[in-house]
């Protein structure tokens, strides 16, 4: 497959993933707004912080390292060996589930049974849901490596719709079930994912479509672990790379979910305050999750396929290197522009957004301050996602191991900063600690990229420098929207709120027109690679 084809497929995957995450975030957004009217904020805090943390820890530590390793240069490996390696995620997941369930039940503070009923069974069910999802891991990696984008969209859409439907029905008609409501919905979600992936590959393998695409497997039996004559059971090079990524993923999980670990293990916030913080956190990270994360995941596959891991820029194929450098520069500019827009408009519209979404429960107290701080954090989150996306695809195994030590230092400093800053500034302290650590991670990645391209003619880090006119447009918009909030929002009735929204709309259009005029390379990249209607036109 040529580099242009890989780029096209990665762009397609990114576009579909963005649409998928938009749907997920909208459904979750509406679901949270709905459940806030029926259940307590303490129950929301336990579900969205403690139980979700249990599930995410199990699946992340069980599969993240395998995904990164097995998607690196997949065409150069035996898929039978890759599948054998991927099946190790299941026993690893069972081990993590048993260990973490014991911690969650016996070592953490148990919520009050009156306000948060059925805690212990919910812990077990959330852990089982995580293990259940790992059954589809070999199929997920196969689908990602061969760019089966519609499979991911359909399966995750059906699973999410089923989860939301179960939650709404049980919240309305069986409110006394407490945590059983969310545990049941979670198990339905992971079960749907497994069923959809299994059904697709049962139909696809051995079909004429699979033969025409040159798919490396011919039967369902080949999806199960087994030995191929004349080959080792697993690819030990991939296994060692997986171990390197595993050590890194353990530290990355602490950084990614650090505030939830601090809240869960150190009890710095009550369950009710945890619920408010998590709702604001989810609202603030909405764009990061449905735009930045899909782009990062999809273009990691692109860089991993195009770059030869561990080799310097002069040892790479120069035509492919030119494409990779241009893509990196455009991606950096794209996420920088989006992040700056979120930062600017997040300040002037945080209070209004929270008041509409959750009423005084969210807009009173620290809610608006949390969302304003998070709007600035999104900018760092966006840049870090793309820089690390490239760095992890280009690093040698030795460099990955060295970076693990850096991640260890960042993890320890993050936990200490979170604890200290939370006692000083409450929930805002979590965001400040995240900003400091994210800044250090960006600095490391920027230094790596600078040295990587130092001896070449390409300078992709120019993507981190917006045009002066764009900076001016953003500055004017920041001042205008702040003055608009002071004058019209948010205690003067709906008419004044609408005026405030209209002012923001005009400012946003002004910024977007400035982007279109000044960032021509970025506009061309988005039109040709990320927007399906333009992509269809050019292909």
- DSSP string of 11-52, one letter each residue: HHHHHHHHHHHHHHHHHHHHHHHHHTTTS-HHHHHIIIIIIH
Give 326-338 pLDDT, tens digit per residue. 888 999 999 999 9
pLDDT of residue 232: 81
Task: Give me the pLDDT at residue 256, please.
Answer: 76
C-alpha to C-alpha distance for 115 and 131, rounded to whole angstroms: 28
Q: What is the pTM of this model?
A: 0.70
CA atoms of 497 and 150, how far apart (whole Å): 40
* Whether residue 123 has pLDDT greater than 90: yes
What is residue 110's DSSP assignment? P
Residue 199 has pLDDT above 60, yes or no: yes
* In the predicted structure, residue 18 carries a pLDDT above the cut 90: no
Task: For residue 353, name the pLDDT band (cuts at 50, 70, 90).
Answer: confident
Looking at the chain, the whole-number percentage of residues with pLDDT higher than 70 is 91
* pLDDT on residue 533: 35
Q: Picking from 89-103, 223-237, 343-357, 509-523, which range would have the lowest pLDDT averaged per residue?
A: 223-237
DSSP symbol at 232: -
Q: Which residue has the higher pLDDT, 45 or 479?
A: 479
Pick from 239-253, 304-318, 323-337: least confident: 304-318
Spans of all domains in the chain? 39-217+234-242
Confidence at residue 147, expressed as pLDDT on a 0 to 100 scale? 76
Percent of the chain clearing pLDDT 90 (strictly above): 31
Predicted confidence (pLDDT) at residue 128 exceeds the cutoff of 80:
yes
Q: Give the residue, 313 or 445, on which the prediction is more confident.
A: 445
Q: Comparing C-alpha atoms, which of 336, 194, 360, 195 is closest to residue 276?
A: 360
Written as six digits, the tokens of 519 are: 């960032």
244-262 mean pLDDT: 80
Question: Rg of the chain's alpha carbons, rounded to an integer?
Answer: 24
Highest mean pLDDT among 174-178, 229-233, 267-271, 272-276: 174-178
Position 151 pLDDT exceeds 50: yes
- 169-183, 187-201, 309-323, 369-383: least confidently modelled range: 309-323
pLDDT of residue 539 exceeding 50, the answer is no
Burial bucket for residue 76 (CB in 10 Å: 0-12, 13-18, 19+): exposed
Q: Rounded mean pLDDT of 58-78?
A: 81
Q: What is the mean pLDDT of residues 77-89?
A: 89
Range 218-241 average pLDDT = 84
Asked whether residue 79 carries a pLDDT value surpassing 50, the answer given is yes
Question: With bands split at pLDDT 50, 70 and 90, how would you rate the model's confidence at 85?
Answer: very high
Confidence label for 69 from pLDDT (cuts 50, 70 and 90): confident
- Tell me the pLDDT band of 305, cut-offs 50, 70 and 90: confident
The candidate with the shortest Cα–Cα distance to 7, out of 530, 453, 461, 395, is 530
- 452 backbone dihedrals φ, ψ, rounded to 5°: -65, -40
**More confident: 329 or 400:** 329
Is 260's pLDDT higher than 90? no
Least confident among 49-58, 119-128, 399-408, 514-523? 399-408
Band of residue 536 on the pLDDT scale cut at 50, 70, 90: very low
Least confident piece of the model among 234-248, 302-316, 381-395: 302-316
Model confidence at 286: pLDDT above 80:
no
Strands, E assignment, 428-526: none
Q: What pLDDT score was predicted for residue 9? A: 64
Q: How far is CA 206 from CA 13, 117, 211, 219, in A?
A: 24, 49, 7, 6
Expressed in angstroms, the distance from the first to the final Cα of the chain is 16
- Answer for the pair 264, 110: CB distance below 8 angstroms, yes or no: no
Residue 488 pLDDT greater than 90, yes or no: no
The pLDDT of residue 162 is above 80: yes
Written as six digits, the tokens of 524 are 């061309």
Cα angle, residue 153 at apex, residues 148 and 154 outer, rounded to 5°: 100
Q: Ranked by mean pLDDT, which of 200-209, 379-388, 488-497, 501-510 comes out on top?
A: 501-510
């Amino acid at each position: 497959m040529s580099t242009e084809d890989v780029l096209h497929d990665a762009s397609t995957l990114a576009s579909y993933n963005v649409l998928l995450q938009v749907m997920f975030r909208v459904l979750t957004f509406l679901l949270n707004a709905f459940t806030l009217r029926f259940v307590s904020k303490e129950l929301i805090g336990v579900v969205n912080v403690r139980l979700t943390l249990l599930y995410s820890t199990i699946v992340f530590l069980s599969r993240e390292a395998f995904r990164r390793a097995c998607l690196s240069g997949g065409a150069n490996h035996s898929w039978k060996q890759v599948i054998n390696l991927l099946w190790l995620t299941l026993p690893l997941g069972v081990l993590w589930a048993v260990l973490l369930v014991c911690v969650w039940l016996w070592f953490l503070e148990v919520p009050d049974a009156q306000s948060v009923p059925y805690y212990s069974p919910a812990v077990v069910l959330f852990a089982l849901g995580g293990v259940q999802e790992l059954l589809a891991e070999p199929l997920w990696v196969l689908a990602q490596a061969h760019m089966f984008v519609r499979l991911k969209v359909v399966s995750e859409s059906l699973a999410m719709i089923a989860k939301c439907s179960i939650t709404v029905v049980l919240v309305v008609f069986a409110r006394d079930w407490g945590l059983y409501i969310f545990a049941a919905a979670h198990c339905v979600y992971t079960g749907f994912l497994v069923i959809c992936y299994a059904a697709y590959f049962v139909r696809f393998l051995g079909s004429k479509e699979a033969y025409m695409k040159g798919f490396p497997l011919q039967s369902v039996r080949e999806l199960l672990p087994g030995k191929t004559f004349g080959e080792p059971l697993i690819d030990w090079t991939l296994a060692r790379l997986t171990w390197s990524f595993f050590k890194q993923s353990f530290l990355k999980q602490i950084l990614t979910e650090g505030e939830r670990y601090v809240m869960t293990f150190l009890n710095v916030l009550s369950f009710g305050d945890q619920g408010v913080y998590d709702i604001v956190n989810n609202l603030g990270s909405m764009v990061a999750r449905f735009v930045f994360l899909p782009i990062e995941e999809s273009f990691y596959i692109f860089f991993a396929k195009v770059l030869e891991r561990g080799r310097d820029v002069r040892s790479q194929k120069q035509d492919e290197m030119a494409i990779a450098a241009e893509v990196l520069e455009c991606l950096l500019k794209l996420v920088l522009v989006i992040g700056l827009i979120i930062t600017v408009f997040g300040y002037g519209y945080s209070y209004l957004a929270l008041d509409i979404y959750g009423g005084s429960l969210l807009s009173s107290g620290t809610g608006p301050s949390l969302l304003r701080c998070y709007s600035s954090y999104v900018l760092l989150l966006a840049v870090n996602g793309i820089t690390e996306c490239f760095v992890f695809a280009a690093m040698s195994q030795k460099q990955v191991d060295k970076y693990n030590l850096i991640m260890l230092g960042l993890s320890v400093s993050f936990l200490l900063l979170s604890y200290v800053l939370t006692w000083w500034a409450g929930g805002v302290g979590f965001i400040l600690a995240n900003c400091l650590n994210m800044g250090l991670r960006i600095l490391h990645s920027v230094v790596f990229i600078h040295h990587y391209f130092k001896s070449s003619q390409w300078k992709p880090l120019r993507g981190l420098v917006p045009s002066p006119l764009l900076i001016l447009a953003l500055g004017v918009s920041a001042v205008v929207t702040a003055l608009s909030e002071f004058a019209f929002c948010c205690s003067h009735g709906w008419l004044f709120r609408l005026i405030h929204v209209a002012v923001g709309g005009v400012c946003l259009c002004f910024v977007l027109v400035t982007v279109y005029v000044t960032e021509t390379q970025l506009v061309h990249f988005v039109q040709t690679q990320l927007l399906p209607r333009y992509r269809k036109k050019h292909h």
